[in-house]
Chains A and B, each alone.
Chain A
Amino acid sequence: MIIRPSDISGDVRREADVVVIGSGAGGAPVAKELAEAGYRVVVIEEGEYFKRQDFDFHASRALTRFYRDAGQSVTLGLPFVLLLQGMTVGGTTTVNSGTCLRLPRHVLKRWHLEYGLRDITEEELNLLYAALEEYLFVKRADPEVAGKNALLFLEGARKLGYSAGFIPRNAKDCEGYGMCPYGCPSGAKQSANVSWIPDALKAGADLYTRCRAERIMVRSGRVVGVRGRFYRPGERAKGHRLEVEARVVVLAGGALQTPSLLMHNRIALGSGQVGRNLSIHPCGGTIALLEEETGNPRGIPQSTYVDEFAPDGIMLEGVTLPPPVMASTLPWGGRRHAEAMRLYPYCGTFGSMISEHDSVGRVVAGPSARQPLVFYRFGSGDLERLKRSFLLMAEIWFAAGARRVFTPIEGFREINSPRDLERLSFHRLKRGEIYGLSAYHPMGTCRMGSDPEWSVVKSTGETWEVENLYICDASVLPTSLGVNPQLTIMALALRTAGFIDERLQSSTSAGKAGRRPAEKGLGVSSKKAPFFRDRRG
């Protein structure tokens, strides 16, 4: 059942087996799996539940309605990076591009060697990925609806002999409306709001929307529940209270909110790692002026990639920008801006994403738990990688027939010829010379590891310090992944759901309240039972 602030008339107190804070890539799968296993699950989500009809092709309005802080959060440090996160049922998956990539093998190896996470095996992950891909209808983007912008760039990359292709994505019958980051208007994208959450609700979970979890209640080293507050749109005054006593609490508010909540509650801070080790996959974009119309933003916004340089930490991935977003990211103002926007139909866009090697990020408690401060300092190696990504994108655009390419680098805003490219390649990029970077993948701020000295959660997802408090979102990823993270977050979430089930079963057999009989007919596996129990046989 969905319970909105308008459905309640006073403070709410109740019990549950499991409370999940956050309904995004981490929280939603856990809620669905445990609800289907028969547990009483309560999900608390700060954002609202939007329906397909609310996703109405209006990108500007989408920013103010579906994004945290209207998409205005930036990192502190030069260059500034716009850090976008969703705040709605489905979390950031509701506004993401739908790309579903598996964890690269070398990254898993690093998790084994440096973080002691050997029990997360490749075989297990592959099983989880396969189940997720089936559940989420993951398949490579259909060239028919990929969009001309993407096809042109792909052609350019192939001319240069670079490895490139169509991206696997979680969309069923996608029509290429080009609106994924503003909410899919047809329901094709299998974000958590149309997949995990409806299934969790069907299995009996309760979802409280527009309710912010504020207190995590801990007694004698063990979590015992959560307190939150409802609020209505545009209202400053705090609304009614929600208090849920629970046996297990799953914190899944995302890599910025989760550490902030822990810091404000002063729990699980012993390792000194909460909020540290932030990586964000900084992204930059290029705009190319082409001879022909690109049809933007129609077509799948992120349908193609160039992975030739992935081993060096550079992924090039498609992006299209609807007019208002393009207008607000152009590096010019005034009359020049107006002229540039007139050429919008002839503009191609593509983006790059850097897997960090030497940048340092950290989330610090802000004036309120809602507003943590995010510090991020680019390392010189990553800055160089970023510059290289612009060079590569420009090179590919020229191979695709572009007349001019625009970058956000001061002094190189306009690249007209191979000579300009050469000049940029010799230029030593400084931190203050780049404008308009963005990031979409904050991770690592409550990292998973094998030692409580330097990690916040065990490989099961449970915090080292507070029994039955689990973290299950991007914050547990111990390193930058180099690929879009949602599939890996979901895979770890399914894994964690399995450990929570084990814990609850063992405490039930020790005399605690039992669960309802498991619902049949749902679940991600073909055996139609919750996936983690299938795996255990």
Chain B
Amino acid sequence: MRWREYLQRRVEKLIPVLLCTSYGQPEVDLEQVSAFSREFLSSGTPAFRLLYFTLILVLEGLCMLRLRRPLQSLALEQARDFLESIYSSRTSLLKAVPLLLSAPFYLAHYGREDVQEALGFPVSALQEEAAKREVTR
């Protein structure tokens, strides 16, 4: 149990580093992203969870190798710069590390109704419309 909590805390630390929003878009809600990521990882396979947590260690290892500092000790912008260097790496497997790690965060943040509405997808209006309209056979 402790081990799980420890890993979840590592995941939470990564959220602001991996998840950026652009000007004018709703801010990231760390709690919401963290809660969804927990649910997403626990509904998946043990193999995926293992891979996910291994990749966190890989990312942290890479940071130690390249910057000689733990990822958690970097300021937010420094950490993001470090990640940019990985995204622009020529090795696609290396690039895949942060991409895979951020997938649950993206699913969580962009799954929010206000975020989807800001991108032109009116979720709540459609929910209301669909509720009124049942197709029967």
Contact = CB atoms under 8 A, between A and B. Distances in A.
Interface residues of B, number: 51
B84 interface: yes
Interface in B61-75: none
A173 interface: yes
B44 A324 contact: no
B133 interface: yes
Given A58-B111, A336-B87, A186 B130 contact: yes
A188 B136 CA distance: 8
Interface in B36-51: 36, 39-40, 42-48
B108 interface: yes
Contact of A324 (B93, B99, B106, B136): B106
B135 A186 contact: yes
Contact of A323 (B102, B119, B126): B119
Nearest to B18: A333
A432 B20 CA distance: 27
Interface string A118-151: 0000000000000000000000000000000000
Contacts of B119: 323, 341, 344-345
A69 B45 contact: yes
- Pick from B18, B47, B103, B119 the residue with the most CB of A within 10 Å: B119
B109 to A, nearest CB: 7
Given A324-B106, A341-B22, A432-B92, A335 B80 contact: yes
B127 A69 contact: no
Contacts of B116: 322-324
Contacts of B54: none
A480 B49 CA distance: 31
Interface in A69-100: 69-70, 72-74
Interface residues of A, number: 57
B115 interface: yes
A297 B110 CA distance: 13
A327 B20 contact: no
Given A63-B40, A72-B48, A433-B92, A333 B127 contact: no
A499 interface: no
B106 A328 contact: yes
B22 A323 contact: no
Nearest to A185: B130
Interface of A: 52-53, 56-61, 63-64, 69-70, 72-74, 172-173, 175, 177, 185-188, 190, 194-195, 234, 293, 295-298, 322-328, 331-339, 341-342, 344-345, 371, 410, 432-433, 435
20 contacts: A52-B134, A57-B126, A60-B40, A60-B111, A61-B111, A69-B43, A69-B44, A70-B44, A72-B44, A173-B135, A323-B111, A323-B121, A328-B102, A332-B87, A334-B83, A334-B98, A335-B20, A337-B102, A337-B106, A345-B120
Given A324-B106, A338-B20, 5 more contacts: A63-B107, A172-B137, A331-B99, A334-B84, A339-B22
